[in-house]
């Protein structure tokens, strides 16, 4: 069991307990935290977070992230299982970091 602290850019924080073999998204859904997600297979990147501290692994190929995104600490929470206590930045704004909106 690992403690995962989620941090939103508006200053909110929440901590969830994530069991061995459980993804971060499954834990947030169990606790009703409303973290965005889509495909649940690592393809759409709707659940993108940014790992601030700790260690987690993708249990499937993270097709929704480019290598430079992974190197910058971005993770896909639908296929991410913690291997230690973690801090992760979450929310729709984090996913928007990866895909700039040309209409701004």
What is the bridge-based pairing of β-strands 80-82 and 13-18? unpaired
Measure the CA–CA gap between 88 and 4, rounded to whole angstroms: 7
102 inside domain: no
Alpha helices in the chain (DSSP H): 24-30, 67-71, 92-98
CA distances from 11 to 14, 38, 50, 60, 63 (A): 10, 24, 15, 30, 29
- Mean per-residue pLDDT, 78-97: 94
* pLDDT-derived band at 104, boundaries 50, 70, 90: low
Is pTM beyond 0.75? Reply is yes
Would you tell me how many other CB atoms lie within 10 Å of the CB of residue 46?
18
Query: Per the structure, how many domains does the chain have?
Result: 1
Note the pLDDT of residue 101: 65
CATH number for position 41: 3.10.20.30
- Which pLDDT tens digit goes with each residue over 47-59? 999 999 999 999 9
- Mean per-residue pLDDT, 13-33: 96
48 inside domain: yes
Query: Which domain does 89 fall in, by range?
Result: 2-97
- Which pLDDT tens digit goes with each residue over 55-72? 999 999 999 899 999 999
pLDDT exceeds 90 at position 28: yes
């Amino acid at each position: 069991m690992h403690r995962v602290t989620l941090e939103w850019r508006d200053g909110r924080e929440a901590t969830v307990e994530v069991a061995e073999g459980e993804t971060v998204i499954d834990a947030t859904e169990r606790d009703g935290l409303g973290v965005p997600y889509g495909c649940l297979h690592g393809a759409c990147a709707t659940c993108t977070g940014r790992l601030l501290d700790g260690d987690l692994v993708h249990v499937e190929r993270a097709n929704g992230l480019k290598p430079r995104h992974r190197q910058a600490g971005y993770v896909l929470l639908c296929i991410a299982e913690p291997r230690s206590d973690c801090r992760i930045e979450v929310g729709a704004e984090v996913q928007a970091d990866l895909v700039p909106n040309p209409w701004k």
